[in-house]
Structure 1
Amino acid sequence: MDRRKGKKVGACRDGDKGKEAKKMLLTDLPTSMVMEILSWLPLKSLFECSEDDFPENESRYLCINQIVKAPDRGLIQIEETIFSPRLNLPDSSFNLVNSCNGLVLLCGTERNLVYVCNPVLGEFITIRVPKGTKRTSKAFCFGFNVKTNQYKVVQTFYVNGEGRKAEVYTLGTRSWTSLGNAPFSIGCMRFNTFLHGACHWVDYSKSNDKKIACFDFEKDLFREVPSPPQYKPERDGSLKLGVIGDSFCASCYRDDDPFQFDIWVMKDYGVKESWTRQFRITKYESLFDSHIDYCYPLMLLKDGRMLLTYNE
């Protein structure tokens, strides 16, 4: 494989002696062969090899960070992998919605297409979203029904004069099914919130009555999940959701100190009384500035340390 700019691969058969060897691009090869070739390259070499081959108009990349070593003491080692549209992502603009079991849901910027992508295998499927001039405020999430072993995409949207509606798409059926009126609009799921067969988010449809909402992919229905007692609905953006271990969690900022927030864990899923304040993150003003709304817990490590992300 020629690693110079252009990365063309030459092929010559015995019958082609005396003739110019046929040249083809690396991306002309079967995907399985490309992935086999690239799998033998060190990660750093792979990025150097691919750097010059991306067209200038491609602006969307998917970066996946994996913890490869987390010792009881010392620095955590994280391995970064970048996936590009040229090899294994849609060759168009998209936004990351959420992920489930290693699969990723991407949404086209015009919200007329969504993509279910397996970035590691370099495969994705394109799902067309039903069109309608009256449809506005489209939002999506992706999940898995463990009972039927099926992946689904659900969307909420508004129809002028009819209110909020919902539809679900089951992979393999090639069709959307109406769920009728929807009690909630799908909100932002910045990190993993899939637990017990449902995706969770904070519903902002009522400014003074924000709730934790979810969609159950086994029963195809929306429902509400009790909020932790510390949460105050009037504080916009103060509640962040996630999963720590096998438990649903929520982080709430404190009123008495802007540089502290508590992490609540729901010990018994769905039971309001089981919310327990398990962690308090404090005295980190020397590390971060005042924009603490962008600090989220990612995971709890074995030695009790917590991995946080700040401003993404």
Structure 2
Amino acid sequence: MADNDPAFILQISDQAIQNNLYLGDFSSDPDDGNVTIITKKLPMPPLLNFHLVSSCNGLLCLRATHPTFGLISIYNPFTRDYIELPKLITEHPSHHLRVLGFGFDPTTKTHKVVEVSYKLGISCGAFGGHFIRSAVRRALYHPQMATPSSSSIESEVNILTVGSSTWRNLGRFPFHIMWQQSQVLVNGKLHWITYTKRSNATKHIMSFDLATEQFKEVPRPDSITPDRHIHELVVLRGCLSAVSFDNDNKQLEIWVMDEYGAKESWVKELSMGAYVPKILQGQPNDERESLNSRMIYEPKKYMRVLCMLSSGRILLESNNKSLVLYDPHCTTFHHLQVTFQGIPRYFRALLHVSSLNWIDT
């Protein structure tokens, strides 16, 4: 492996524990070229439980879960620099679903956190409180499963410059963000997959410019046929890229926008079939179903694209349980062995560039 292959953060989930972080790095045998993952446990932030939102310039954005739900913090696991951000006060915090974005504004050289919140259209009857808490927990980990009850979407956008003491309200946003985990940062802009109505199957790609603090629609590739849908966004070769599946969720395509903002520059990088990694092949069907439905409500053989390595191979995450390398030249899959202290049931992988950066204050 080349030295410029990316490293990544692994957040380990074992029952209710959400605060184990590992750094994963690639290693290859010079004789046979086999690739392995070397993991190193990282120091923990002063949080009992948290959700790993994103990584930027060596800094991690974390959202606390129980018992301080809603607390957002920034953490560098190598310097152990840590700050808690001012809490955003809303009228009914338990009635809102929130999606976070974290990135770097190159014009002001500051980091910013964006929060898009949706008010739940539900009442608090005898079971209302329980339903709201369940919906909020579901949205925290799987926002694409939590859809406002109205067919029209209305959300509120707030932004905080890290180091500032106050959030700023940017008004309304007439889209629903499909998936928190699919946030990508390209050209100083955050990107998400969105849609405008609950019943609308058409997905849009929306950008948020961290400098101008404006949303703008990014043209999607016309060549993605109606029987396919964009499922996630990734960054490949430094370019905004889209992953699409067919309606049977068996064929995956990766499209790359070679020239940012130019609709005609979308090109299909590759396509691949479904694959069940070894770690899942020995499991009973009902356990596979439980694993899929519990994590991100994804199809049985769905794979999440993480990045492209210098060799041209694609790093994939399957079912929050396995890392796999796909070689597009040989059209082969190679399961990567990942070791931790203990045997966690699930993990989440997030690309990460380590640094000694201190947090803006």
Q: Would you call these one fold, judging by a TM-score over 0.5? A: yes
The equivalent of 1:124 in structure 2 is: 82
Aligned residues: CA RMSD: 3.1
The equivalent of 2:209 in structure 1 is: 216
Separation in 2, partners of 1:258, 1:163: 30
Residues 260-299 of structure 1: pairs in structure 2 closer than 5 A: 260-282=251-273, 284=275, 291-293=300-302, 295-299=303-307
CA distance 1:285–1:168, shift in 2 (3 Å): closer
Flag structure 2 segments of 5+ consecutive residues without an equivalent: 1-14, 122-152, 282-298, 321-361
Task: Look up the equivalent residue of 1:78 and give its one-letter code.
Answer: I
The equivalent of 2:244 in structure 1 is: 252
Offset at residue 112 of structure 1 (A) = 2.7
The equivalent of 1:241 in structure 2 is: 233
Separation in 2, partners of 1:234, 1:225: 21
CA distance 1:119–1:75, shift in 2 (3 Å): same
CA distance 1:258–1:176, shift in 2 (3 Å): closer
CA distance 1:156–1:106, shift in 2 (3 Å): same
Residues 15-34 of structure 1: pairs in structure 2 closer than 5 A: none
Is the Cα contact below 8 Å between 1:193 and 1:200 reproduced in 2? yes
Flag structure 1 segments of 5+ consecutive residues without an equivalent: 1-55
The equivalent of 1:96 in structure 2 is: 52
Offset at residue 175 of structure 1 (A) = 1.2
Separation in 2, partners of 1:243, 1:152: 20
Q: When the two structures are aligned, how many residues end up with a matched partner?
A: 251
Separation in 1, partners of 2:78, 2:19: 17
Is the Cα contact below 8 Å between 2:54 and 2:102 reproduced in 1? yes
Q: TM-score, normalised by structure 2?
A: 0.61
The structure with higher relative contact order (CA 8 Å, sep 6+) is: 2
Separation in 2, partners of 1:243, 1:204: 21
* Alignment partner of 1:300 is 2:308: yes
The equivalent of 2:341 in structure 1 is: none
Offset at residue 297 of structure 1 (A) = 2.1
Offset at residue 95 of structure 1 (A) = 0.9
The equivalent of 1:148 in structure 2 is: 108
Separation in 2, partners of 1:91, 1:58: 11
* Alignment partner of 1:228 is 2:221: yes
Offset at residue 66 of structure 1 (A) = 2.1
The equivalent of 2:22 in structure 1 is: 63
